[in-house]
Structure 1
């Protein structure tokens, strides 16, 4: 837990000194007849559970409480820590299991992705009941007044990142971050992911204060 001199910082926050690692990228022929993006020194940990290559970022040492050290850069999410909490449905603040007796809580800001249907696509990992208000207050992306989604179903959808291809300088970006790329899309073969996305389908929007009261009732 944070000490009085060490304020709470969301686990997913990138810290000063954590920098993008040299990309070391190559495009290699695959058995499907297409080129696939790889690291020259690729490790199994460089890919998520769906096989998409992940952007590398260094890690600062951990403190005595197991939390990352370094000045927080609150506007940035560490790619791996974002993916780890999103993939395992862990709280973005403390990494405990995020599911509550009422469902999974996701907070969305004004710029979050929404489709043409009632589905919501979010890059924000869930929050646990204990840190619901904390996440709403600390995350600059949410603007202090987030939309609160209480979801019963939130399957993995895909990733955001950068599409690579062959150019005059060799392997280089050909498309910068845009809408999330769904898992299974043909472009994932040449995609370097930086954030994982979940799709909310069975959900309802709720008032933050009302939800906090309901959670207290269920825990009492």
Structure 2
């Protein structure tokens, strides 16, 4: 196994529900998925290579890293993912460094969404009643299914923590207790050949669903799920119904 593969495998295996101790500079908890200062995008070594299935007179291409490790660089549906470095981890197995609050680390976001783990601590976010996804009061024009989300779920222990850490969740957050939220697609950047060079073509605002014809030349940075069945609750309501679960 290469050194990079070892680092990614180690990061993928880390799980903890212990918050980082408060300091004078940081809040007591920083979500596991949050990107930290010092975690930077990897050098751009993308290549576009011809792929099978091209239409006559119109060659098709697929995006690769020149030093690609498919098991780590591609997701469960074989979409290529953006590389971002990892800071060292502390004694509690949390990433170190000041938080970049507006950014989610692509690999850690992907881990949480693929396995339905808590974005704060990486414990399982699945309960007998469903999985909790949070949203701001004005994130959606409607609250009828289906809805798309790029925000990983939260475990019952960290529902209030998540609402206190995120500014747009502090006022009337919406809780979706989902019983069906399958993988939908990815957000990211579309690449193409411009004057023989690999260049950014566009960064779509909407996610590309799995199966989209542009995915072979797409570099993903966030995984998206489709909430197909859910109940809409308030924070007190969801805490109450989860507290009533046996055990």
TM-score interval, normalised by the smaller of the two chains: over 0.9
Distance 1:117 1:132, change over 3 A: closer
2:41 is the alignment partner of 1:20: yes
Distance in 2, matches of 1:175 and 1:113, equals 24
TM-score (norm 1): 0.93
* Matching of residues 158-197 of structure 1 within 5 Å: 158-168=185-195, 170-197=197-224
Deviation at 1:80, TM superposition (A): 0.6
Structure 1 portions without partners, runs of 5+: none
Q: Name 2:31's counterpart in structure 1.
A: 10
TM-score (norm 2): 0.83
* Matching of residues 1-220 of structure 1 within 5 Å: 1=18, 2-5=20-23, 7-33=28-54, 34-44=60-70, 45-109=72-136, 112=139, 118-140=145-167, 142=169, 144-168=171-195, 170-219=197-246
Distance in 2, matches of 1:111 and 1:27, equals 40
CA contact (8 A) 2:32 2:94 kept: yes
Q: Which range moves more in the overlay, 139-148 or 108-117?
A: 108-117
Distance 1:9 1:176, change over 3 A: same
Deviation at 1:32, TM superposition (A): 2.0
Deviation at 1:112, TM superposition (A): 4.7
Distance in 2, matches of 1:170 and 1:111, equals 41
CA RMSD of aligned residues (A): 2.0
Paired residues in the alignment total 220
Structure 2 portions without partners, runs of 5+: 1-17, 55-59
Deviation at 1:218, TM superposition (A): 1.4
1:1-41 deviation per Cα after TM superposition (whole angstroms, max 9, x unaligned): 22243611100000000011112111001122210011111
Distance in 1, matches of 2:143 and 2:21, equals 45
1:135 aligned counterpart, secondary structure: helix
1:96-132 deviation per Cα after TM superposition (whole angstroms, max 9, x unaligned): 1111122100012367577997311000001000001
Distance in 1, matches of 2:230 and 2:108, equals 25
CA contact (8 A) 1:14 1:76 kept: yes
Distance in 1, matches of 2:162 and 2:188, equals 24
